[in-house]
Every structure is written in structure tokens, then in C-alpha cells.
Chain A
């Protein structure tokens, strides 16, 4: 590509690439196109080998000139991956295996017949669905932050330009003053997607109000919530939009340098982002005098190194500065005094990815989506005990019920829904009674949870909520930076009390003490991580008091999860005396006489591994 030195050249390039991409996807270029999902989920499921196999077969059959093939970012419907999509028809094949590739090439690409057996089957209607947009999972979704994901080749700047890329940048550089950009973003009602929900425009305005020889934009891609992968998918699927968003932020408040801070656990995202930065620099979309204007911008990539707390913005800044990721007290806020002491706005990946969309369609159009105080869309990583595990983007205000049942396809195995945890370790859980709550920042907060970065983990009746709280507390203890006394010692003490509860040593006094300490930490900890650390406890205690009570009063775990409070037992009436359980038992604690005497578990020796129950063919073993 030639260097893009002016708005005119950019427009020309956009026109050319838009047509090229359109031609590719509609077949006007007289070729078929194959796109293979290369999100981390599908890559883990062998999609790279599938892509290579397709390439190999195309070559073998001499079809290289008639068929284009490339990878794309996440389709979102991860539990059904890997996906292969065929254009121009738009046929979507799911759960493709390596052995299916020959079938696709022979029947579909050469024979022109849809491979029926690879189509998604709607579980409720049992109908085969050929097109992505007809799958229930996608019906209520809107792709704003995920714009271009699963459509464009994330390695090609050309495809980004062909799919709305840099139209917003051109617009701000040629038609808007920085003040107008800030106003537009403020008017759109966009709030930080990283969890806090602070109005993005206001943050920029703060930074704009400070006079400084240097300002920075920092993109927070240190997505640490276990079970959350929104930012990763965006960076993997369309890194260009995020860079564009960062540049617009820079233009808006006068920063000329940006840092991406991305988890080192995301090698694919890192590689694609790095390439995008390099390619943009090559054509002059990053560097000095972008599009011939006075706006200059450079972008850099820094990797995290495995510390959840670095998702906290001031800890993140310390990490970029080569220090331990310990949060700084605020005020001063980073927008006033941030990276290397200079005004810095730390924006989340999803926030920045949304910015170009707002500029393209206008604040008013964007603000049509969502609720009164939460505008636009939000991406969620739906996981846990739910049929359609994956990445979904819905307008704010969508109810949890829609998210879980219409999009998520409900709970697997006919089990009962118990809770949905939003906001990760900092959030809380919501229950049946909250299912009609519209998803927005304020209503989730009012219910004792929070939006968080978008992790949404569904739990069913088999999950013990005390155990879940225990899991999060363990996580927080491990990830506490150790700086402030409340988080360092307080979360440890909470964890110990919870351990007492899950192991039968707790009493009602323990619960009182826990609640007191949790409440104090909420107010007294230094950073947001510490202040929200106790949320999982407070919210599960509020929503499931009877479950806690069962642990401390009856010394029972109703869900049979807490090992010290449950037992495996063999029903002598159902036992067929086959001896399989005894033979499988790793600690030889099951005794009986084959064919004669029903088997019995020695509870004193049992390590509660569950091997016996998993192996019993007669359903004679149960938990109690």
C-alpha cells in the first residue's frame, strides 16, 4: 500500500478497499471466500490446522485462483467452534474437525452443495441453520465494539480500511476540533467499559484541561477477570479499531503517544496488535503529521506479566514504569498526573473500540441504544453452566433473562439456574429474582453486583455459593498486591473465615465477623480491587443466607460441593455388588464382598474424589 499522506489518499484507499472487501464477500470478484475462526478458543480447538488443511487441499485441487482463504477473529459462539464460513453464500459450519475439511472442499467448494451435517442445529426446533444471522445466539446481538470481528482478516490493514476503518479518524482530523470530539463522546453517554463506568468524555475533558508538554493515552488490555475474554477477542478480531479509538482520544485531549498494556497470556492478540501498529506506521497512519495534519501519534505495546491488580489503572501505570504493580493513591487522578507524571487517560479496549463507531454514526445515533444512563452496547463473556458459552454483544438494557435464556440457550442438563456472577472477583452474584433486571451500570450496582469488564458466569444448582465466594476470595488473596493493610491482611482473614465455614468450623459468629470485616474493607482499602474484594462474600451472603446458615449451623453443604461437609454413600439396595467402585478407589476405602455383600465407604478414609460415583453404572452411589 502506498503511504497515506492526506485525507484524500485515505479516502481513495478506503474506497478501493471497501469495494475489494465487498467484492470478496459477495462474490463479485468471481471467487469463493473461506473464513476460518482464529480466536483463541477456536485456535485451542485446532482451527489453525484446519486452515492449513484447507490451504493444502485448495492447492492440491488447483483452486487457489478461485477461492480465497483467510482467518478472522472470534465468531463469539465459542462453544460451537471452530467455525468455517463460506462466502458469498454465508454458510456457517460449526464444530469443524480436521477430517471435515475434505468434505467441505469436495461438496461445498467444488460441488456447490451445503454440507448439511456441519450446520448448526437449533436445540429447540431441531432445525438445521445455514446462516449465522438465523442462529438464535446472534439474533439479539449488535456488533459495535466487536465491529469487524469474524469478518475482516485482522492481519490486513486493507480489510480494516474496507470495513469502516479510519473513517472516524479522518472525520475528526478534518472536520472536528478536539473540543468537538470530546463533546461528541460526552454526548454519546459512553462510559468506561472496564468496569468502573466513568464517563469517557469527562475523563478526556479532565486531561484536556491540564496544560502539559506531554500527555499519554493508555489502553488497558490487562483483562484479568477469570472467565472474561472480551478485550482479547476485540484485539484479536480487529486491532485497528482500537488503535483508531486511541488516536481519536489522543487528538481529543492533546496526547501524542499511546501505550497498549496487554496481558502476556494473550499471545495472539499481542501479535496481531503489534503487526497492526507496524503496518500503520509503515503507511503513515501512525507517526508524524498524520494525514498531513498537525496531529502526530505513536503507539507502543507493553506486556503484563501475570498480575491481576495491574488491571487497576494506577497499578497498570506503575507496571508500565517498570515497577511493582502497586496502585497509587488517588487523587491525583491519572488524567491529571499519570504515566511518568503526565496527564494520562487509561481507557479500556472495548471503550476505545467503541469510539470510532460513535464518531462515524454520531452521538445521537449511538445514544439511541441502551438505557437512560448507560448508552450503547456491552460485550459479555458468557461462561459457566450455560449452553451457549461465548462472547456476546448486546445493547445496554437487555435483561439478564434474555442474556441467559435467549442468547445463552439456558442451563445445560436440565439443571436449575442458581446465580449469575457479573463483574468477576469484584462483582457479585444475581439470582432468579434479578433476571428481569436490565443490564446497565447502575441497576447492577443497585443489586449488589457491578458491570465489571463483562465476565458473566452462570451457576446452577450443583454450585455451592459459599464455595464460589471462597474461590473468589482465594483469587483475590493471591492477586492482592500486598500494599495496603486492608487488602493484604483483611482478605486473608476473610478467606480464612470462609475456609472455616466451608470446612465446618464456622459459627454464626463467624458470619457476623465476616460481614463486619467485609464492610470495613469495602470502605478502607486503597484501590478499587481492594474496595471490591469483599463483594463476592457480601453478595452471596445477602442472596444465599440459608446456604451459609446450612454450612455453619447444620454443618452441611446443600450443593454437596464442600468436601468436609459432604459424603459419598452407597445405597445398599441399589448396589449390585460388582466391586468396580472398590477397585477404582484410589485410597481403598470401599469394602464389600463381590456378589455377596453390598459395598460400604469408610468415611474416615474417603478423600471425596468422586471416582466411585463417576464409575458406578447402577446409580447406587450418591452425595449427601
Chain B
């Protein structure tokens, strides 16, 4: 994959933004993740050139933190809370149902690039357990039976767009 020029410029300007911070790597990576949705090795190389930090070290940091992703995520990121409060209220069943219906495991993205399932640790919506979210929209007290409808909601949204 060749990096497009505007991405290179964008990544470089993010590096410049934190040039005066002590140890800015985490801030740089967070910003890139936020801006572009993922941090492939090619982009890490640019960060390495700008900061002088070895790529292996950057790669080590990227793969350490679960917020950083090497691959693009789906258009809709389904985050199902597996915090204890949700777990004891059977949120694992929600994860399983999504996995079964979409044919992917948590952390994976559907082939059409539409959905990514993520098992998240406590969204803080413990009162709404089991809770889940899709691109930030929270679904309270979800049951496995609702799962199909939630997927349908976004599939329909997609076909409308088309």
C-alpha cells in the first residue's frame, strides 16, 4: 500500500503538532487513530522518520494498546460491554449472537467492511446493563433477541444511502 501524499502531509503535521511535548508518541498515535481510524505500518514509518523512534518500538506501542488498530475498522463499530456489571447480566450472549449473525469474532470486521464487533470493558452505563453501542449510540438493556433488529437497522440505513 502506498501512502497518499495528503495522508503523509497529515501525519507529518500531527507529528509537528506535538513536537514540543516530552515523549509525544502516545499523543501522536491517538491523534492518527482518531483522524484516520487506523495506523498501518506505512504510517508508523512516517512517524518514525519524524520522531526518530524506531519503527519496531512504535509498532510495539501500537500493538500494545487496544485503542490503536493496524487495520481499518468497519463503518459501524458495534461495542458490546463486557464489564462485570454487564457480564453478570449475560452480555456474553449478546456478543455470541452478533458473532453468529455476522460471522465474525470480536475484533474482526465483516468482509463488506460494514461492521466491526468489539468487546469493550465497561462503558460506564452499568445501570443500563447489558449495554452496547454502535458508533457511540448506546443501546440499553439489550437482549439477544434484539440483536437481529439492530443489525437490520444499520443494513437498512446502508441501503438507503445507496
Contact = CB atoms under 8 A, between A and B. Distances in A.
A binds B: yes
A472 B121 CA distance: 12
B26 interface: yes
Interface size class of B (residues with CB under 8 A): 35 or more
A468 B87 CA distance: 9
Contacts of B53: 322
A264 B83 CA distance: 16
A44 B84 contact: no
A41 B84 contact: no
Given A44-B123, A225-B122, A609-B144, A306 B66 contact: yes
Contacts of B27: 302-303
Contact of A389 (B23, B64, B122, B126): B126
12 contacts: A40-B125, A78-B125, A78-B126, A226-B84, A265-B120, A302-B26, A322-B61, A323-B23, A323-B25, A384-B89, A609-B97, A611-B145
B129 A321 contact: no
Contacts of A291: none
B84 A227 contact: yes
A264 B30 contact: yes
A461 B3 CA distance: 56
A81 B124 CA distance: 13
Given A44-B140, A306-B66, A614-B145, A226 B122 contact: yes
A14 B60 CA distance: 49
A385 B88 contact: yes
B88 A389 contact: no
Interface in B4-47: 22-27, 29-30, 33
B144 A384 contact: no
Interface in B121-141: 121-129, 131, 133, 138, 140
Given A44-B123, A611-B145, 8 more contacts: A45-B128, A224-B121, A225-B122, A227-B86, A265-B124, A383-B126, A463-B88, A614-B143
A449 B43 CA distance: 45
**Interface-central residue, A323, A390, A610, A614, by most chain B CB under 10 Å:** A323
A424 B84 contact: yes
B124 A457 contact: no
Contact of A322 (B26, B131, B144): B26
Contacts of B124: 40-41, 44, 229, 232, 265-266
A381 B84 CA distance: 11
B23 A383 contact: no
Interface string A290-333: 00000000000011111110000000000111111100000000
Contacts of A383: 84-85, 126-127, 129
Contacts of A225: 84, 122
Given A44-B128, A44-B131, A471 B138 contact: no
A228 B121 CA distance: 10
B68 interface: yes
Given A305-B66, A322-B61, A229 B126 contact: yes
A340 interface: yes
B78 interface: no
Nearest to A320: B23
Contact of A340 (B22, B88, B96, B128): B22
Contacts of A463: 88
A226 B85 CA distance: 7
A451 interface: no
B125 to A, nearest CB: 4
Contacts of B97: 609
A381 B126 contact: yes
Would you list the 4 A-B pairs with minimal beta carbon distance, nearest first?
A322-B25, A383-B85, A78-B127, A226-B83
A390 B126 CA distance: 8
B95 interface: no
A229 B128 contact: no
A374 interface: no
B120 A41 contact: no
Contacts of B123: 40, 44, 265
A321 B21 CA distance: 10
A610 B26 contact: no
A421 interface: yes
A324 B60 contact: yes
B84 A389 contact: no
A455 interface: yes
**Interface-central residue, B66, B83, B131, B133, by most chain A CB under 10 Å:** B83
A481 interface: yes
Contact of B83 (A227, A340, A481): A227
**Interface-central residue, B57, B66, B121, B133, by most chain A CB under 10 Å:** B121
Contact of B88 (A324, A384, A424, A586): A384
A611 B144 contact: yes
